[in-house]
Amino acid sequence: MASQSPVADSNRRHAAARPDTAGVGPALANADNAPYRYRLRTVVLDAGHGGKDRGCAGATAREADVALDLILALGRQIQDNMPGVKVIYTRKTDVFIELDERAAIANRNHADLFISIHCNAGPAQSHGTEVWTMGLHKTTANLGVAQRENAVILQEKNYQSRYDGFDPRSPQSHILFSLFQSAYITNSLRFAQRVDRQLHTSVSRPSRGVKQAGFLVLWKSTMPSVLIESGFLTNPTEERYLNDKANQSYMAAGIYRAFRDYKRELEGG
């Protein structure tokens, strides 16, 4: 169980760098005894896959490309409407970034929120969005999604040492790994529920719900974090929808509204 220590130490350092980093808890006092008010200042946006890792694919669309288009559209909406929020991207082009480096980018920048966007794969009739947070595998299906997304580490060098012996092909490894619960799970779920609601009600995307599983990129992030499966590229109808620029903008707008509402709630505004 020694592998808990780096995560716990990182959480403590992150919390010390930004008081009340989880967005909950009592107000603090500054040097002038004025109450400290939490502000969501930095968000890290992560487009899944990229470069040699294309992710899943439909007839023509690749997950790496669709995820990047969605992330860039979301980033533009945040920057246009919230100039006080710093937007940092793990990638803005078609390049390969290791999973632990994606999380490290967020950790180094003391991000208040980490949003990772992906596309899903499954039987041709599968459709709808899923919003994931770090947590226990409650079903075999949840485990399967986590295994698929985590398998990217097989393309990384020295992945056994980088991820403390974690084997993405082993169900036992995922189950043990998922016991390491994030200190930020409450706010991760809070944001995930808002994303799910906005995509379903304002964007009219069918919802497959908010779920929890052991995603490496979320586990390594020391802040509230979610992974959004935007739809199934293996469904021809969904592939056409997800590969359309206007629909990408609609989905990004829904995620932006969830971000806006989450920020307002945490800041008490």
The per-residue pLDDT for 2 is: 39
Residues 6+ apart with CB under 8 A from 46: 71, 89, 90, 91, 102, 106, 114, 115, 116, 117, 217
The per-residue pLDDT for 25 is: 35
Residues in the chain: 269
The per-residue pLDDT for 145 is: 59
Cα radius of gyration (the chain): 18
The reply to whether 58 falls in a domain is yes
The reply to whether 11 falls in a domain is no
The reply to whether 158 falls in a domain is yes
The per-residue pLDDT for 250 is: 98
SS3 call for 162: helix
The reply to whether 4 falls in a domain is no
The reply to whether 77 falls in a domain is yes
The reply to whether 6 falls in a domain is no
The reply to whether 139 falls in a domain is yes
The per-residue pLDDT for 146 is: 61
DSSP 51-115: TTB--SB-SS-BHHHHHHHHHHHHHHHHHHH-TTSEEEES-SSS----HHHHHHHHHHTT-SEEE
Domain count, the chain: 1
Calpha distance 106→42 (Å, rounded): 9
Its pTM stands at 0.75
Q: Which domain holds residue 87?
A: 39-267
- Give residue-wise pLDDT tens across range 17-70: 443 344 443 333 344 444 557 899 999 999 999 999 999 999 999 999 999 999
The CATH number given to whatever domain includes residue 209 is 3.40.630.40
CB contact at 8 A, 107 and 222: yes
DSSP label at residue 216:
H
Extract the residue ranges of the chain whose pLDDT is less than 70. Answer: 1-36, 136-183, 269
The reply to whether 43 falls in a domain is yes
